[in-house]
Structure 1
Amino acid sequence: MGAEVVVSSSEPRLQQLEKALDDIGVTPSHKKILALILFGVLFDVFEQNAVGLVGPLLREYWGLSGAQIGFLNTLTFGAAAIGRLGSGYIADRYGRRTMLSINLMLFTLGALICALATNYTMLAAGRFIVGFGLGGEISIAVTMLAEFCSSRFRGVAVGAINVAGGGLGNMLAPAFGLAVFAFFPGPDSWRWLFGCLVLPAFFVLLYRRFIPETPRFLFSKGRVEEANRVLNILASGKLGKRAGGEKRYLSEAPEGAHHAEKVRLREVFVGPLARRTVAVGIAVCMTYGAQISVLTLMPTILMAQGYTLSKSFVFTIVMQSGSLLGAITASYFGFRFPRKRVLTIGAIAACVIGLCFGFLSKSQPLILAFGAAFQFCVLLLNTSIWIYAPELYPTRVRAFGTAFILALGTLAGAAMPLIAGRVFDQYGIGGMFGMMAAMYAVFAIALTFAPETFGKPIDGPDAPGEGASDANTPAAARTAAGASPAA
């Protein structure tokens, strides 16, 4: 049976790919890929929170100092930054699917080493391996979902990663820790927490082998037949099975013109891409630094206001409900509104609410209300950055460009709690949240130098990553992408 040709070979070939993804829409295959990626991200966030959860136990049973526990957290975030850069480099050369599996394997191995650690050095080594896998997992997940989906749905899909991670994951992590400690009390309860993260991650790794390579990556490497095969898998709704009667969504290039795009990572730092790398890099440093500082110091802040440790944990969980709502809202806004509008308004709101928390939180209801509202803004912004970052770069450097931006945020998350802690010690809660407000003001200013990407194809002459105008023209972008004004 001959292959059915659905697009004319005379169409620009990148437009063929955009048209194919638009025509396929969202199928059960997309939903299965999304679920497998989200489960891995959820366990990653649990592992990311693990040091904070086991810290008091390590202090009690191993006699670790606060500095030693803090170093484990800094080591994890530092390794995550390295993992993001390394994964981005490898993914742009050898494929997204390869690194997605490697990252989760590293995470699982690191968690197992932590569970079996016999001394501090072994525990630190395990956390470094965990961090490397964590960093790569998130950046590759963001890139893959952006490339599997059409311009109409990619904002929702990428935003869902932080719904599972920053929203649901950060909210459930303390509850997960309490449940593990309740079932496995005693001096080894912290080992059980690490161990309980190994088995589910292993099963996710097992089933992820059904996730195909992204059609955009295959197409950028000149592997048109494989890209057609993946598009047919997406259209069929069945992962891991060859669809019968395959369609030729993409035509082969004329003989002699068939070549892979060269990967030049320096593109991210020169020419038209450099401006957006700097602008969004500054913005992500501000919001990641603020988020990790608040997550790290919130129990200390609450205890300084006279609340017990257990009550401060409960308050933190309540405030994290704002994180979940913020991530969900960002995912919805990713479908409806221009990126820069969401990010700018969210940054202004974070400024105002941060100042309110710092200077007006004089009662329990106000602490919870302002705390939840601040976390809402933080996750709205962080999730929107995740949606935005992969849209800034062409496929040939997308994984590395996205990884570099997120790695900057990770480094800021490692460094800023130290600065925020000193500000809190010297100037109190008002000084600390005043600094957070200033950081979000810098965030909003930096974004004025970045382009709008909403509704635009992420490859081709009209794509932001290919030197299109950095002007904020969402209406034109939507028209070019064939989306309705409301989309």
Structure 2
Amino acid sequence: MNITARISQAPMSGYQWLIVALCTFMNCLDGFDVMAVAFTGPSVTEAFGLSGSQFGLLVSVGLIGMAIGSMLLAPFADLIGRRPLILISLTLGTIGMFGAAMAPTATVMGAFRLVTGIGVGGILASTNVIASEFSNAKNRGLAIGVFTAGYGIGATVASLVAKAAVGGDWRIVFYAGGFGTLLALVVIALILPESVAFLERKRPSGALARINRTLARMRLEAVTDTDLDHAAASRMETQRAGSGWLKQRLPPTVLLWLVFITIMFGFYFVNSWTPTLLVEEGLSESAAVTAGMAISIGGTVGSVLYGVVARIRTPRVVLIGFSLLSAAMMIVFIVSTSTLWLGFGIGVVVGALINGCIAGAYTVGPPLYPAHVRSVGMGWALGMGRIGAILSPTIAGMLNDAGASATQLYTGAAVVVAVCALVLVGLRPYDPESSHAAKEALAA
């Protein structure tokens, strides 16, 4: 039995949950980064004299960087290791955040937003895989839910910093993000181990000692070079047997891309445009940030809620429910914000549901691929999902300039999220956890 299979079957140790926590901490950076732009949107727009389209482009350039990081940096994780790529990505994120804080013009700020995005994209592609690889089968959905909750935590912190900075210098928010990313760089360099799955597959110098050191912390038995040789031989046979995976997996791959695109379209619209739209609707900047904060607070629990429910029902079915409820509650939210306390409460629900959708996409995707191409499949799914993330703020900016109201924009985004449910219905024949064979195997 290879090491990955042993980890999947063994109970989760405290050390493994620590690794999930570290990945969650790094996912906080994504939430802080995106919401730093959203919450400072009115101030940045005023400082640089930006139109709605120009602000939308400033948001999108960071998301373009994330797509580049997810699709182009992620493959290097299979060459140099997950840990080195994360350290490189954190360095890029630190430079980008401090650069944006000191930017004298919108153009310079956009350039540093691109650098930050590339770093965040590289972090997300690697941490998602590490959280999955260090989790057992029983708790993998919950672990991914906890990991995804990091976005909401980071977004909430960004909202608190932005709220404190209202009426002051908006650059404080980006300085805070820079220091947070620098802290993550130091902590990860000191604590995070290399993925044992990577060490088992690549076997660099000293791999056996590093694997056994990590296994000991996980309270698992040590392995020998012979064990690694046997696992490598078995892996080669599996890869030869599954050499036609690309042709076989093309339909579910396209459907998975559509799932990520539609979910991220709605997710980044809600998280990047809400404060700015509410200010335009007549709310004060402080009240708009409060409403945005409600969405962030909901996000901290929504992904964990998805993980808990997914232990009871098939993850794909749970995601269908979350996407339909998200679409409905987005519309309810935007028509209720005139009553601040009601809008705040519904905003928490919207944040919980839309963040749960992200956790669902992370959970539904990996089982669609053979183990030896799972990282590539998910890396490209994340990258393609950024198309929705990029289009969302850009299209919203163009429609905003054309006179579309906040209610119209929210309704349009809700329709896109609802489309995700239809795509997931089409994914059913390819979902191993929904197949008759999988149910029989589980029963056995």
Alignment TM-score > 0.5, same fold: yes
The residue aligned with 1:3 is none
Q: How many angstroms does 1:225 deviate by?
A: 8.2
* 1:122 Cα deviation after fit: 3.2
**Distance of 1:254 and 1:306 partners within structure 2:** 67
CA contact (8 A) 1:288 1:382 kept: yes
2:434 matched to 1:448? no
Structure 1 segment 60-459 matched on structure 2, within 5 A: 60-165=46-151, 167-179=152-164, 181=165, 189-209=169-189, 210-221=191-202, 226=207, 229-230=210-211, 232-237=213-218, 246-248=222-224, 251-253=227-229, 257=233, 270-357=246-333, 363-421=339-397, 428-450=405-427
Residue type at the aligned position of 2:273: L
Provide the rounded CA distance (Å) in 2 between the counterparts of 1:287 and 1:255: 37
* Counterpart-to-counterpart distance in 1, 2:36 and 2:80: 31
Counterpart code for 1:197 = G
In 2, the alpha carbon distance for the partners of 1:361 and 1:219 equals: 53
Q: Contact 1:268 / 1:274 at 8 angstroms: preserved in 2?
A: no
Q: 1:391 offset after TM fit, Å?
A: 3.3
Deviation at 1:82, TM superposition (A): 0.6
**Could you tell me which residue of structure 2 aligns to residue 19 of structure 1?**
6
How many Å apart are 1:269 and its aligned residue? 8.8
Give the TM-score of the pair, scaled to structure 2.
0.85
Secondary structure class of the residue paired with 1:212: coil
- Give the CA deviation at 1:155: 1.4
The match for 1:32 is 18
CA shift in 2, pair 1:322/1:44, >3 Å: closer
Q: Does 1:475 align with 2:439?
A: yes
Q: Distance in 1 between matches of 2:4 and 2:357?
A: 30
1:38 counterpart letter in structure 2: T
Aligned-partner residue type, residue 50 of structure 1: A
**How far apart are the structure 2 equivalents of 1:263 and 1:401?**
15
**Cα distance in 2 for residues equivalent to 1:360 and 1:69:** 25
Give ranges in structure 1 of 5+ residues lacking alignment.
Answer: 1-12, 454-463, 481-487
Alpha-carbon distance in structure 1 between the residues aligned to 2:345 and 2:185: 39
Q: Deviation of residue 340 (structure 1)?
A: 0.8
Q: Deviations over 1:384-421 (max 9, x none)?
A: 11223333323432222212111222221111233345
State the SS of the aligned residue for 1:113. Answer: helix
Decide whether aligned partners of structure 1 residues 362 and 444 sit closer, same or farther in structure 2, where only a CA change above 3 A counts: same
Within 1, Cα distance between the matches of 2:272 and 2:106?
A: 21
CA deviation vs aligned residue, 1:130-161 (integer Å, no higher than 9, x gap): 01001111121111111111211221222112
Structure with a larger share of its residues in helix: 2
- Alignment check: 8 A CA contact 1:45 1:170 kept: yes
Shift of the alpha carbon at 1:474? Answer: 5.7
For residues 307-348 of structure 1, the C-alpha deviation after alignment (integer angstroms, 9 at most, x for no partner) is 222212212222433222312202323444321121111122
Report the Cα offset of residue 21 of structure 1: 4.1
Q: 1:256 Cα deviation (Å)?
A: 10
2: CA distance between counterparts of 1:449 and 1:386? 18
Range with greater deviation from structure 2 (252-261 or 267-276): 252-261
- The 10-residue stretch of structure 1 (408-417 or 48-57) with the greater mean CA deviation from structure 2: 48-57
Change (3 A) 1:154 1:452: farther
Which whole-Å CA distance do the structure 1 matches of 2:47 and 2:425 have between them? 51
Do the aligned residues in 1 keep the contact of 2:60 with 2:394 (CA within 8 Å)? no
**What value does the CA root-mean-square deviation take over the aligned residues?**
3.7
SS across alignment from 2:193: coil
Taking structure 1 as the reference length, what is the TM-score of the superposition? 0.78
Cα distance change on mapping 1:131 and 1:294 into 2, 3 Å: same
Q: How much does 1:281 deviate?
A: 1.0
Give the residue type in structure 1 aligned to 2:439.
Answer: A
Cα separation, partners in 2 of 1:141 and 1:477, compared to 1, 3 Å: farther
Per-residue displacement from partner, 1:261-285 (whole Å, max 9, x unpaired)? 9999xx8993222222111111111
Conserved in 2, the CA contact under 8 Å of 1:104 and 1:201? yes
Q: Please tell me whether the aligned partners of residues 303 and 352 of structure 2 are also in contact (alpha carbons under 8 angstroms).
A: yes
